[in-house]
Structure 1
Amino acid sequence: MTLLRLNEPLPGQYSLLLDAGTAPVDSVIGELGHEPNGYFWAGVAEVLVSTESPALEGRFAYDPEAGMFCAYGTDRGALQELEALMNTVATDGERMRRLVTDAEARGFEFDD
């Protein structure tokens, strides 16, 4: 199941998008005390990059909104890697639960 979309709105410019409220793990996010909005998903992306793929750090930027997660940049490969990481969490409730619990135990605060 692919929830995220990688677009090329301009030649060489890429956007990775996720419509907030459309993931199978939204109820788990709510149980954990969070709102599954774009800002929350940006936090998920930050945690995934810092803990699982630090080589992605600085290769794209985030521009979330309440209704949508967005990461963008010129490095299509980096955004494809982020897409794969996020899809695994967005479709697996236990994986999401572990990610949030572990991140909060380390002091990470989700901005939702």
Structure 2
Amino acid sequence: MSFKERIKPFQYIEHDSGSVSIILNVGIYKDEIFQTRADEGFEGNGYDWGSLAVVFLEEKMPKLENIVHFDPEADMFCAYSDDREAMQIFAIGFKDACEDDAIIRDLFSRAELD
């Protein structure tokens, strides 16, 4: 399985500047996770995904904290970096965490509204 296939539904983008990013059009993938805290204001939008990704990065990949950055919007989650290898490591780790219901729910329990 290729890297791009492995991280779906996240999309990997290489920019002319040399930086790379992963994006996710929000609203379908793992929406049930965000619904568990809807009463607190979580909607599953790009900002909520960003909050979840921050907790993941801090707890699971702290060495990448100053290398991988986030720029979410209402309808899209976006992570970016100038370090291609670091972004690929983050993307695979984050996708794997999302696929493990216990891990992603635990991480999300510590996410804060943006």
Bigger shift: residues 39-48 or 83-92: 83-92
**Partner of residue 69 from structure 1, selected from 74, 77, 92:** 77
The corresponding residue for 1:8 is: 14
Counterpart amino acid of residue 100 in structure 1: F
Measured in 2, the distance between the counterparts of 1:66 and 1:89 equals: 22
1:21 alignment counterpart = 27
Classify the secondary structure of the residue corresponding to 1:35: coil
1:40 aligns with one of 32, 39, 48: 48
* Residue 99 to residue 60, structure 1, CA distance change in 2 (3 Å): closer
Q: How many correspondences in the alignment?
A: 105
What 5-or-longer segments of structure 1 have no aligned partner? Answer: none
- Which portions of structure 1, spanning 4 or more consecutive aligned residues, are displaced by more than 6 angstroms? none
Unaligned 5+ segments in structure 2 are: 1-5
Report deviation, 1:50: 0.6
Query: How far is 1:11 from its partner?
Result: 4.6
Is 2:60 aligned against 1:52? yes
Per the normalisation by structure 2, the TM-score is 0.80
CA RMSD in angstroms, aligned pairs only? 1.7
For 2:74 and 2:97, how far apart are their aligned partners in 1? 19
Q: Percent identity?
A: 32
- Bigger RCO of structures 1 and 2 (CA < 8 A, at least 6 apart): 1
